[in-house]
């Protein structure tokens, strides 16, 4: 039974030739300042006032060695930012060691550039409300390993493409001031991360949200609606090493890396698609919420509840202790669909076992091995999980699951969803309002279904992302 229609835009490619100025404002403005050289660009930036839009003509511009395009002490407003744009998206190509260097600035937007630098682009902690949008990042592999580092509060990184890296290093790093703080309220959305082919064991993440020394700092970041394709530089495509973040509605496809809550507490991972790659979701730390995720066709471990070399990270621990794994405590893992993965739900064997984790209302389907292969645990709550397939049940407690065919049907977007006769419908039992909608955006209501999908007959509002949904030409 096919119950939904896969809705996709067919006209997005035409946006590539739209001038960035029109895309940002809808029409030209009296404040537009056209420039056609780096000297004129720098002069216009030096004299910029709130609401000005500086438009660099298409062409290739090489910043001289030792030089930079400086944005210093420039402050727009939230209603009237200072905007620096390429005439058309990707039309202004910046080469040389260094491009934009910002300091003591706020409410500045940089849009539409093709960055081909060899040194890190930084949004420093003395800036705030900086937006990087609709840019193309492909730095020199022989340059600095980090392409973009964000330390500025209240900034936005959206609709950019980070791609084609063959060496160790990270596309996007989020840090903060000093050695323990995190940038606050960062929004990372509608970006395309693709083709990181570094073959080492560690050090090639697309996104690293924090670092071990900042793990206990709350960042409040939102990482949402991003697409990751062929991101093979690290087992962690989204590496979270800070606290209090939201990772939702992302698609990770055909990639080595998954979503890893490596350090920190209180992060919500919701509504993500991880398909056709290697690793899924792995969690350490305390009080996380993992809901409505769809993990399918992974050749590695789909969902890992991590054990630790320590029980909890603390402010007074040594640097080596902080780098260790913190056992997963008090997580809630509910309403996820884990379908046809090599390893479905598993644990680990470090000294400190995970404690007081709730695993409820999940759909586990597999053909080989065991659906549940946990190591030592303490105080786990298991409720109303639905299991199916030739794989053995594994070591979840008797009476906490049902084994029955979930009666799934594959949609045009490749997602397996419930059909009208599925035993998952109305069978969820976990109380509270942990989820109000499902993977597709359908409302859950008061009687909920098991798994990431809530049965509905209306078209889904959300789907796995494609390249047309993200990057410089995204809507």
Q: Which of 240, 234, 400, 393 is nearest to 326 (CA)?
A: 240
210, β-bridge pairs: 241
Give pLDDT, residue 361. Answer: 98
Give pLDDT, residue 9. Answer: 32
Q: What is the number of residues in the chain?
A: 475
Residue 282 · residue 260 · CB < 8 Å:
yes
* Any domain includes 253: yes
Q: Which of 4, 51, 34 is nearest to 412 (CA)?
A: 4
pLDDT classification of 28: cutoffs 50, 70, 90: very low
Residue 419 has pLDDT above 70, yes or no: yes
pLDDT classification of 252: cutoffs 50, 70, 90: very high
Mean pLDDT across the chain, nearest whole number? 93
Residue 7 has pLDDT above 80, yes or no: no
Give pLDDT, residue 365. Answer: 98
Could you give the number of structural domains in the chain? 1
Residue 318 has pLDDT above 80, yes or no: yes
Give pLDDT, residue 29. Answer: 52
For 34, list phi and psi in degrees, rounded to 5: -80, 135
* Any domain includes 139: no
* Any domain includes 337: yes
What tokens appear for 146 in the block? 């980090």
Can you tell me the mean pLDDT for 348-370?
98
Can you tell me the mean pLDDT for 131-152?
97
What are the residues whose beta carbons fall under 8 Å from the beta carbon of 153, sequence distance 6 or more?
125, 128, 129, 183, 184, 185, 186
* Any domain includes 149: no
Give pLDDT, residue 409. Answer: 97
* Any domain includes 386: yes
Residue 1 has pLDDT above 60, yes or no: no
62-89 pLDDT per residue, tens: 999 999 999 999 999 999 999 999 999 9
97-132 pLDDT per residue, tens: 999 999 999 999 999 999 999 999 999 999 999 999
Q: Which of 256, 334, 358 is nearest to 301 (CA)?
A: 256
* Any domain includes 460: yes
13-23 pLDDT per residue, tens: 333 344 444 44
Residue 66 CB coordination number (10 Å): 8
Give the C-alpha separation, 298 to 372, whole Å: 15
Residue 237 · residue 259 · CB < 8 Å:
yes
Can you tell me the mean pLDDT for 184-193?
98
What tokens appear for 457 in the block? 């007959």
Burial classification of residue 364, based on how many CB atoms lie within 10 Å of its CB (0-12 exposed, 13-18 middle, 19 or more buried): buried
* Any domain includes 272: yes
Q: Which residue has the tokens 């999908």?
A: 453
* Any domain includes 127: no
> How crowded is the C-beta side of 168, counted as CA atoms within 13 Å?
4
Residue 152 · residue 183 · CB < 8 Å:
yes
For the chain, give the secondary structure using H, E and C.
Answer: CCCCCCCCCCCHHHHHHCEHHHHHHCCCCCCEEEECCHHHHHHHHHCCCCCCEEEECCEEEECCCCCCEEEECCECCCCCCEEEEECECCCEEEEECCCEEEECCEEEEEECEEEEECCCEEECCCCEEEEEECCEECCCCCCCCEEEEECCECCEEECCEEEEECCCCEEEEECCCCCCCCCCCCEEECCEEEEECCCCCCCCCCEEEECHHHCCCECCCEEECCEEEEECCCCEEEEEECECCEEECCEEECCCCEEEEEECCCCEEECCEEECCCCCEEECCECCEEECCEEECCCCEEEEECCECECCCCCCCCHHHHHCCECCECCEEECCEEECCCEEEECCCCCECCECCEEECCEEECCCCEEEECCCCECCEEECEEEECCCEEECCCCCCEEECCCCEEECCCCCEEECCCCCCCCCCCCCCCCCCECCCCCECCCCCCCCCCCCCCCCCCCCCCCHHHCCCCCC
The whole-model pTM stands at 0.94
**Pairing of the two strands 416-418 and 408-410:** antiparallel
29-52 pLDDT per residue, tens: 557 999 999 999 999 999 999 999
* Structural domain that includes position 185: 12-30+159-469
Q: Which of 133, 68, 80, 142 is nearest to 106 (CA)?
A: 80
What are the residues whose beta carbons fall under 8 Å from the beta carbon of 14, sequence distance 6 or more?
none
Give the C-alpha separation, 352 to 355, whole Å: 9
Give pLDDT, residue 24. Answer: 53
């Amino acid at each position: 039974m096919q119950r939904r229609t896969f809705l996709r835009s067919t006209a997005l490619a035409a946006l590539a030739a739209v001038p960035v100025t029109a895309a940002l404002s809808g029409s030209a403005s009296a404040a537009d300042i056209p420039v056609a050289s780096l000297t004129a660009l720098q002069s216009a930036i030096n004299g910029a006032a709130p609401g000005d839009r500086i438009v660099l003509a298409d062409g290739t511009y090489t910043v001289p060695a030792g030089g930079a395009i400086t944005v210093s002490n420039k402050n727009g407003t939230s209603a009237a930012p200072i905007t620096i744009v390429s005439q058309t998206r990707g039309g202004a190509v910046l080469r040389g060691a260094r491009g934009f260097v910002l300091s003591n600035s706020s409410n500045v937007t940089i849009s539409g550039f093709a960055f081909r630098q060899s040194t890190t682009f930084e949004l420093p902690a003395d800036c705030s409300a900086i937006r990087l949008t609709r840019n193309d990042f492909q730095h020199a592999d022989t340059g600095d390993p980090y392409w973009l580092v964000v330390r500025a509060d209240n900034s936005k990184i959206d609709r950019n493409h980070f791609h084609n890296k063959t060496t160790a290093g990270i596309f996007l790093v989020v840090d903060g001031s000093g050695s323990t703080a995190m940038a606050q309220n960062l929004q990372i959305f509608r970006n395309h991360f693709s083709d990181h082919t570094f073959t080492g064991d560690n050090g090639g993440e697309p996104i690293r949200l924090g670092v071990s020394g900042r793990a206990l700092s709350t960042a409040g970041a939102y990482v949402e609606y991003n697409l990751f394709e062929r991101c093979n530089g690290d087992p962690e495509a989204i590496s979270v090493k800070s606290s209090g973040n939201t990772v939702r509605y992302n698609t990770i496809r055909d990639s080595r890396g998954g979503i890893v809550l490596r350090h920190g507490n209180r992060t919500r991972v919701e509504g993500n698609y991880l398909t056709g790659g290697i690793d899924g979701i792995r969690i350490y730390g305390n009080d996380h919420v993992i809901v409505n995720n769809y993990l399918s066709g992974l050749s590695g471990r789909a969902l890992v509840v991590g054990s630790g070399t320590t029980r909890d990270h603390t402010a007074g621990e040594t640097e080596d202790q902080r780098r260790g794994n913190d056992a997963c405590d008090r997580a809630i893992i509910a309403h996820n669909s884990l379908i046809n993965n090599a390893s479905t739900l598993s644990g680990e064997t470090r000294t400190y076992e995970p404690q007081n984790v709730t695993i409820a209302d999940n759909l586990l389907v597999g053909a080989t091995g065991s659906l549940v292969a946990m190591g030592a645990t303490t105080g786990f709550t298991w409720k109303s999980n639905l299991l199916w397939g030739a794989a053995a049940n594994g070591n979840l407690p008797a009476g906490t699951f049902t084994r029955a065919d979930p009666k799934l049907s594959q949609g045009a977007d490749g997602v397996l969803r419930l059909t009208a006769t599925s035993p998952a419908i109305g069978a969820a039992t976990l109380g509270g309002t942990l989820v109000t909608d499902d993977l597709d955006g359908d409302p859950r209501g008061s009687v909920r279904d098991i798994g990431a999908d809530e049965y509905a007959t209306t078209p889904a509002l959300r789907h796995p992302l494609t390249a047309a949904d993200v990057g410089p030409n995204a809507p």
